[in-house]
Structure 1
Amino acid sequence: MVIDLENVSFQKAKKPILQDISWQVRPGEQWAILGANGSGKTSLLKLITGYEWASAGRISVLGSVFGSVNIHELRKRVGWVSASLDQRYQMHEGMPCADVIVSGVHASIGVHEAITKADGERALALARSMGLEHVAFSPLSQLSQGERKKAFMARALINEPELLILDEATSGLDLSAREQLLAEVERMLTRKQAPTLLYVTHYPEEILPSISHVLLLKKGRVLAAGRKEEVLTASLISEALGLPLTVEWANGRPWVKATTAFAHGLDNGD
């Protein structure tokens, strides 16, 4: 089992954040985690990666049960890309793109330890595979938002993780850059040795053809979990996101629209 959560709850300052979460991710499955702001998506990721500890329940990740595993060693098997990573690199805007990628070897912000020739070659190979060869030696400050996101994804992949977490990876991107990044994720998922993916988003249309399953969260609880075709229904998505929606499928992706009545209400200023 890649991830196994049994009756997991989490509270902070006595406030319930996650309640009675039971969820399993099996080898070969690729998951999206979908929910509105405040639904508990990021808190769930922090529990899975050991940056927060559950108030109750049992957590197992990559076959290791929390409480009897070295979390620091476990994290070496997990790649994580989030908006906070970009923020942490704002103090290193002069760092070349290739160095950003290679910093993932030691999961550091910046390069502070010796890097082998093989590490450097692997970083450049990842840059090429992500279409970043032309900016590999350019400072981070000169990269577009889309290129930055790709660099951080390459950083997460350099240790060939068994589990890859992309937390709102397209945040801040325009439509073109978003679709380019999503295409890169889809290419990665079709490779033979692809890691298990947890793709966290607010937007159902970002759930790619190669993503097989969806976990739907609402107010810290599991609303639904299973194969995406069974979970991404109009009724369930409407309940999770808090507004009436319809769902249409095109090219293996779900596209949601507000219902006519709701859209008219917006047009009338209601």
Structure 2
Amino acid sequence: MILTLENVSLIRNGKWIIENINWKVKKGEHWVLFGLNGAGKTALLNMLNAYYFPTKGKVKVLGREFGRAPLAEHLRTKIGLVSSSLQQKLYPADNAFEVVLSGAFASIGLYETPTDEMRQKAISLLKELGCFEYANQEYGSLSQGERQRVLIARALMADPELLILDEPTNGLDFIAREHLLEGIESIAKGSGAPTILYVTHHVEEILPTFGKTLLLKKGTVFGSGETKEMLSEQILSKFFDIPVEVVWSNGRPLLSKKVTFS
């Protein structure tokens, strides 16, 4: 089991951010965490990474139960995280190759001497994700799509058991988004792939490889299960509180508001 949450609630600044979350993710499953802005997605991710601890309930991630075992060092080398908050912490003057190498040490910046094996692995990941051609460019000079590719390569350096992609296509145009999604799908289908948790509020980004979906609404689980079931017109219309239409094309959903004629 990759993660287990049992009746988990979190209070911050006197307000319940998430309440009574029950969720289990098995090894090899690829999940979507879907919710609108303010649904509690970020708080939940911070908890999975041991930045927050639950006010109530039990959290177990990668075999470690919160409150019963040392967490931070263990989890942050076993979880690959790609997020906008991480992107802002990196040094713009470091080149893409150095940023990827830093993932082997789970550090911001490269302070230790990487082995030849690490260097070869970084090169392989840069090539796999289509960013080898700008390996020597400063991270700060890269486009948003290029930065996201580099961040994913960095996240994979330590062979994580869990890869969390938090809104990875934010700020990308259509072409850059699709190229990035192709890279993610390739990773998911590769041998020895980590369990992937894809966080988004855009239905059209959800790839066929993500067979499970958790719908988060106002800090609670609205629904959880097979992606095709969770993204049905009936369930999503209730989720959004408006009638919606879902069209599936090439295994991916397209969402629009249903037009009714009086």
CA deviation string 1:210-252 (max 9, x = no partner): 1110000110000000010111112322333444321111111
Distance across 2 between alignment mates of 1:223 and 1:78: 26
Conservation of the 8 A alpha-carbon contact between 1:3 and 1:25: yes
The aligned length equals: 260
Distance (whole Å) between structure 2 residues aligned to residue 49 and residue 238 of structure 1? 32
1:82 matched to which residue of 2? Answer: 83
For 1:55-94, list aligned pairs within 5 A. 55-71=55-71, 72-89=73-90, 92-94=91-93
Report which stretch shifted further, 224-233 or 65-74: 65-74
Cα offsets for 1:191-217 (capped at 9, x unmatched): 121100110000111110111100001
CA distance in 2, matches of 1:241, 1:151: 34
Task: Output the amino acid matched with 1:114.
Answer: T
One-letter amino acid matched to 1:11: I
Look up the equivalent residue of 2:4 and give its one-letter code: D
Match of 1:236 in 2: 235
1:117-172 CA distance string (max 9 Å, x none):
21111111111111111111111133221111000000000011000000000111
Shift of 1:65: 1.1
* CA RMSD in angstroms, aligned pairs only: 1.3
Q: Secondary structure at the match of 1:210?
A: coil
Tell me if the contact between 1:168 and 1:201 (Cα under 8 Å) persists in the aligned partners.
Answer: yes
Aligned residues of 2:33 and 2:215 also touching (Cα < 8 A): yes
2:190 counterpart residue number: 191
Q: Report Cα offsets for 1:32-87 as digits up to 9, x if no partner.
A: 00011111111111111100010000011112211122211122111000011121
User: In structure 2, the residue corresponding to 1:5 is in which secondary structure?
Assistant: strand
Does the residue aligned with 1:260 lie in a helix, a strand or coil? coil
Q: Contact conserved, 1:35 with 1:241, CA < 8 A, in 2? A: no
Query: Partner letter of residue 42 of structure 2?
Result: T
Query: Which residue is 1:138 aligned to?
Result: 137
* Structure 2 equivalent of residue 267 of structure 1: none
Which position in structure 2 is the counterpart of 1:19? 19
Instruction: Note if 1:201 corresponds to 2:200.
Output: yes
Equivalent pair of 1:78/1:164 in contact (CA under 8 Å): yes
Q: Normalized against structure 2, the TM-score is what?
A: 0.96
Amino acid at match of 1:63: G
Q: Kindly provide the amino acid, as one letter, of the partner of residue 218 in structure 1.
A: K
Alignment partner, residue 54 of structure 1: 54
Q: Which amino acid aligns with 2:52?
A: E
- Percent of counterpart pairs with the same letter? 42
Work out the CA distance in 2 between the residues paired with 1:170 and 1:189.
17
Q: C-alpha distance in 2, partners of 1:22/1:216? A: 12
**CA pair 161-34 structure 1, distance change in 2 beyond 3 A:** same
The one-letter amino acid of 2:50's match is G
Alignment of 1:1-270 (within 5 A): 1-71=1-71, 72-89=73-90, 92-261=91-260
TM (norm. structure 1) is 0.93
